[in-house]
A and B are shown apart, each in its own frame.
Chain A
Amino acid sequence: MLKFTGKGVYGAIAVGRASVFFQKKKAKIRRTGIADVEAEFARVEAAKEKATQQLSEIYEKALREVGETNAQIFEIHMMMLEDEDYNESIRNIIETQLVNAEYAISLTANNFSSMFAAMDDAYMQARAADVKDISDRLITCMTADCEKTIHSDQPSIICNDDLTPSETVLLDKEKILAFVTAYGSSNSHTAILARTMNIPAVIGVGEEFLSNIKDGDMIAVDGFTGEVFIDPDQQTLEQMECKQKEAREKKELLKRLKGKENITLDGQKINIYANISGVEDLGAVLANDAGGIGLFRSEFLYLEGTDFPTEQQQFEAYKKVLVSMAGKKVIIRTLDIGADKKVDYFDLGEEENPALGLRAIRICLTRPEIFKTQLRALFRASVFGRLGIMFPMITSVSELEKILEICSEVKCELQEGGIEFSNDIEIGIMIETPAAALISEKLAPMVDFFSVGTNDLIQYTLACDRQNPRLESFCDTHHEAVLRLISLSAENAHKAGAWIGICGELAADTSLTEAFLKMGIDELSVSPSFVLKLRNTVRNIDLRS
């Protein structure tokens, strides 16, 4: 038995077989013998064509966005792909050694890049990376199709170095017992997903775990303590079972709170809503008796496909949520793509600092056609329930003015087309930048509500990258600066007659519930599985004491 410790992000236990994915991602190039030299040549040519296509798209985009001088490197990459010596070397290796194209490419890449690396000029040494880069691209073009999605046939425990948001989205959620990742922080996408799905996740168990785990290994995951056991012994298994039973009983107890009010001992009430990431989470929302939906992350509509979701597709999803919630409030956040949530077809390009980059509302305001499609779908769906729309990543009054203007345009267009929409749609903004909190006095009169996105607010206030696990000791989520910004926003919201909720991870932090109640926070929106736990906390608080 081997034991590893990371950080548990959802308290639950799982025992099962490991599904290991990182090895596939970083698979070493294998040397395999081949018989048909021509077929291998043809594979190289096909990959070259595909790679050139990709590069020319990247080039065109770079040309538009960073100018010709900087874009030229991609043109050079295309020329490198055509280089006679490079191609001759690949063909020679295939022909004389009768080996697969991948191997021939990687050997050629090594030879050429060592030529550059051996030069006495730092600039030329750096070109070694270009050779590697084009060669990797070629090899990926040959194998990409089988790499893209993570599959597992049986329910298993996903073990990975870290998952990107799009990989997380592509997982078949029915077949996941738990997550274990070598890196990642408790704010990573994997962690958020695990909380939504009520399955244990242990993150940041370290690199050593990766070298010890194999596909199919039996492992036990303790999401309470953050411990992971490879090949657990009998005693450990018994302990796990015992813990699992306790957890279930506790959950049963919480179920008894269903249908009860969210009210403190001294009579202060608060709304407890749920955060959802898709239509499939609705069951959990209703089962846990949430008072509404405080955050519907609409970007999942965008992350799932290979092209923009149409107005009709979005309309259907929004309508379904509104109908299912039967008149309870549903707050849908407009797309929050960018930063750690990347989608290829958005063509956003690489950014030095994506958390501070072109994301969320900034994309919407730069490319209003995307924004308008979503707004039309939202407005059309509004007749099926009680809709609130909120906009992420606001930093200024002028942004909000622009948004409201676009909203009016969309409404006018709908009216002209004779398409119905509700007149009581609530409009709100996320408070997730220190800027928005600090000017909340000016923003509040323009909206119906605020919703504090604590994950980003913490990241931007404390200058701590939420993806970086090494910063966790610096990232004090209870930092006074963060709490003051929330308190200030609450005060200004109420002054203007608006209400304020919290939809970030901090809303579920029961050690802060009392503080939030004292600030007069009107709503807390949490993962469905936290709703009843939070209700229990609220019902035991006495603000008089």
Chain B
Amino acid sequence: MKQFNYTIKDEVGIHARPAGMLAKTAKGFQSEILIEKDGRSVNATKLMMLMGMGIKCGDTVTVTVTGADEEAATSAMQAFFAANL
């Protein structure tokens, strides 16, 4: 299991477009990727639920990656968050 925290810098937070891209990226890995905020967590492949979290600018999320390709998945997620959110 690998984990990292990230504070959202994008003005509108995880809105439809980045949520869509995030879900797409997450689907590319076998590992389970969970996004957690304030005790609620959701699988990163679940677009609607992810959008439903209402993650905004300034919120800190915890990303937890568990699975066979967790190394690669984690670096991909870190890169994704840094580039898009």
Whether the Cβ atoms of B54 and A120 lie closer than 8 Å is yes
Whether the Cβ atoms of B48 and A123 lie closer than 8 Å is no
A123, B19: Cα distance in complex, Å: 13
A123, B54: Cα distance in complex, Å: 10
Q: A72-B20, A130-B16 are in contact. Are A116 and B52 (CB under 8 A)?
A: yes
Majority SS of interface residues in chain B? helix
Task: Provide 17 A-B residue pairs closer than 8 Å at the C-beta atoms, listed in order of the A residue.
Answer: A69-B17, A76-B16, A76-B17, A76-B19, A80-B47, A82-B47, A85-B46, A85-B48, A85-B49, A86-B48, A116-B51, A119-B52, A119-B54, A121-B56, A124-B15, A124-B54, A127-B16
Complex partner residue of B54 from A72, A121, A131, CB under 8 angstroms: A121
A364, B20: Cα distance in complex, Å: 38
User: Is the interface on chain B under 10, 10 to 19, 20 to 34, or 35 or more residues?
Assistant: 10 to 19
- Closest B residue to A88 by beta carbon equals B46
A124, B51: Cα distance in complex, Å: 7
Complex partner residue of B46 from A76, A83, A116, A130, CB under 8 angstroms: A83
State whether the Cβ of A2 lies closer than 8 Å to any Cβ in chain B.
no
A23, B49: Cα distance in complex, Å: 35
Whether the Cβ atoms of B20 and A76 lie closer than 8 Å is yes
Whether the Cβ atoms of B56 and A83 lie closer than 8 Å is no
A83, B56: Cα distance in complex, Å: 22
Contact with A along B19-35 (1 / 0, CB 8 A): 11001100000000000
A79, B50: Cα distance in complex, Å: 12
Contact with B along A62-83 (1 / 0, CB 8 A): 0000000100110110011011
Q: How many residues of A contact B (CB 8 A)?
A: 23
**Contacting residues, chain A, for B74 (C-beta < 8 A):** none
**Contacting residues, chain A, for B56 (C-beta < 8 A):** 121
CB-based A-B contact count at 8 angstroms: 49
- Closest B residue to A115 by beta carbon equals B52
Whether the Cβ atoms of B23 and A79 lie closer than 8 Å is yes
State whether the Cβ of B12 lies closer than 8 Å to any Cβ in chain A.
yes
State whether the Cβ of A112 lies closer than 8 Å to any Cβ in chain B.
yes
| A105-132, CB < 8 A from B | 112, 115-116, 119-121, 123-124, 127, 130-131
Nearest Cβ in chain B — how far from A35, in angstroms?
A: 30
Interfacial residues, chain A to chain B (CB-CB below 8 A): 69, 72-73, 75-76, 79-80, 82-86, 112, 115-116, 119-121, 123-124, 127, 130-131
Extra A-B contacts (4), CB below 8 Å, given A121-B56, A124-B51: A72-B17, A83-B46, A115-B48, A116-B51
Complex partner residue of B20 from A79, A86, A115, CB under 8 angstroms: A79
Whether the Cβ atoms of A123 and B20 lie closer than 8 Å is no
Interfacial residues, chain B to chain A (CB-CB below 8 A): 12-13, 15-17, 19-20, 23-24, 43, 45-49, 51-52, 54, 56
Q: A83-B46, A84-B45 are in contact. Are A127 and B51 (CB under 8 A)?
A: yes
**Contacting residues, chain B, for A69 (C-beta < 8 A):** 17
- Closest A residue to B45 by beta carbon equals A84
A83, B22: Cα distance in complex, Å: 13
**Contacting residues, chain B, for A131 (C-beta < 8 A):** 48
A119, B20: Cα distance in complex, Å: 18
**Contacting residues, chain B, for A121 (C-beta < 8 A):** 13, 54, 56
Nearest Cβ in chain B — how far from A90, in angstroms?
A: 12
Of the listed residues A75, A121, A124, A130, the one surrounded by the most CB atoms of chain B closer than 10 A to its CB is: A124
**Contacting residues, chain A, for B20 (C-beta < 8 A):** 72, 75-76, 79
Whether the Cβ atoms of B52 and A73 lie closer than 8 Å is no
A115, B13: Cα distance in complex, Å: 17
Nearest Cβ in chain A — how far from B35, in angstroms?
A: 14
A73, B23: Cα distance in complex, Å: 14
A83, B27: Cα distance in complex, Å: 11
Nearest Cβ in chain B — how far from A120, in angstroms?
A: 7
A389, B15: Cα distance in complex, Å: 53
A-B pairs, top 4 by smallest CB distance, nearest first, are: A76-B20, A83-B48, A83-B47, A119-B54
- Closest A residue to B20 by beta carbon equals A76
Whether the Cβ atoms of A123 and B45 lie closer than 8 Å is no
